Structure 1
């Protein structure tokens, strides 16, 4: 099997004042709602639909029980962007014991990219990371919000993070096996 070099960039905000919000998309069609009931089926749907064409594969083998256990961790939140009632993308927040909150996953379903939804969703998600302790008893106040993106992610991911006020703090390059993007299902995103 061939391999490729994947560059991973780590970015952070260290204060709520670092957040530079994007404007909401024009019109009144996009809503961002927290998925308050842990649902492995829904979370796996979002993960596969958003990451299928950009090589998100690490969670594809997770069992139902593993999804459930992950989603039920106190403070873990999934915020979903809906465009006219259809799930357009999501952002997943994973708090850490030291007051940091990781944006563990963020992205849009391919059909919704390029519509100014991503910047708005990232802005809302980062704001919810900063006020996460207000929704969860016993969580420490957020001291830092961080995220990583890599050269396999969408071409505009890094620029979106930086426009929202995230600052680069580390970069790593590693050789990984080359694998085709799995797609959300066999044959998706192919020409007919």
Structure 2
């Protein structure tokens, strides 16, 4: 996730078709103090919870928000597998609308009871650079803490926009684990090309 008016493209794979990725896991144990940020350049903002969103709408959000950063886990799922996740009462999907148009989404996974994960968070590429990121992240964190978890956590990786880690740390998250793995470039997988709404 980022809020900078720059296009981002994931790195090319190595000759063997793999990518070396470093994952950083961050957490918050209590709400952080409000962080000053420049307000959005769009006035008409609304966030609505998508209760049991349709598969096609969710794939549209996931693929367009996560495509530049090679989000692939949900692309690899069948519609049935994805539906099982989305109808779970512990999975909360929130959609950011700017002037009535979907601009991004956040997904809170509350299935860990007191241990809550910001499973997904980001903006559609067309809305990056309009100062929506900090505003929407602040909204998401307020919503998460309203459920009184004992811990809130998130992860980012080196395939995400370079600003992502800084944004999360600025919001009050603290790294607690880092690991590096070699993965097959998801762009070479059949599901990447066959996934709707690419």
- Structures share a fold, TM > 0.5? yes
Structure 2 length normalisation: TM-score? 0.80
Pairwise CA distance, 1:179: 4.3
Give the 3 Å change call, closer, same or farther, for CA 184–153 of structure 1 in structure 2.
Answer: farther
Structure 1 length normalisation: TM-score? 0.83
Aligned to 2:107: 92
Q: Which one of 167, 175, 179 corresponds to residue 182 of structure 2?
A: 175
Summarize the alignment of residues 8-23 of structure 1 with structure 2, pairs less than 5 Å apart. 8-17=23-32, 20=35, 22=37
> What SS does the corresponding residue of 2:32 show, helix, strand or coil?
helix
Q: State how far apart, in whole Å, the 1-side matches of 2:37 and 2:153 are.
A: 18
Q: Which one of 161, 180, 187 corresponds to residue 154 of structure 1?
A: 161
> What SS does the corresponding residue of 2:161 show, helix, strand or coil?
coil
Q: CA RMSD in A?
A: 2.4
C-alpha contact 1:19 1:166 (8 A) present in aligned 2: no
C-alpha contact 1:22 1:164 (8 A) present in aligned 2: no
Q: State how far apart, in whole Å, the 2-side matches of 1:183 and 1:127 are.
A: 37
Aligned to 2:171: 164
Residue 69 (structure 2) pairs with residue 69 (structure 1): no
Give the 3 Å change call, closer, same or farther, for CA 171–28 of structure 1 in structure 2.
Answer: same
Q: State how far apart, in whole Å, the 1-side matches of 2:127 and 2:193 are.
A: 16
Q: State how far apart, in whole Å, the 1-side matches of 2:113 and 2:103 are.
A: 32
Q: State how far apart, in whole Å, the 2-side matches of 1:166 and 1:94 are.
A: 17
Pairwise CA distance, 1:16: 1.9
Summarize the alignment of residues 109-124 of structure 1 with structure 2, pairs less than 5 Å apart. 109-124=124-139
Q: State how far apart, in whole Å, the 1-side matches of 2:70 and 2:194 are.
A: 10
Give the 3 Å change call, closer, same or farther, for CA 67–178 of structure 1 in structure 2.
Answer: closer
Q: State how far apart, in whole Å, the 1-side matches of 2:84 and 2:36 are.
A: 32
> What SS does the corresponding residue of 1:175 show, helix, strand or coil?
strand
Say how many residue pairs are matched. 179
Pairwise CA distance, 1:97: 3.1
Pairwise CA distance, 1:19: 6.0
Pairwise CA distance, 1:113: 0.8
Unaligned runs of 5+ in 2: 1-15
Q: State how far apart, in whole Å, the 2-side matches of 1:17 and 1:46 are.
A: 28
Aligned to 1:39: 54
Q: Which one of 100, 124, 143 corresponds to residue 150 of structure 2?
A: 143
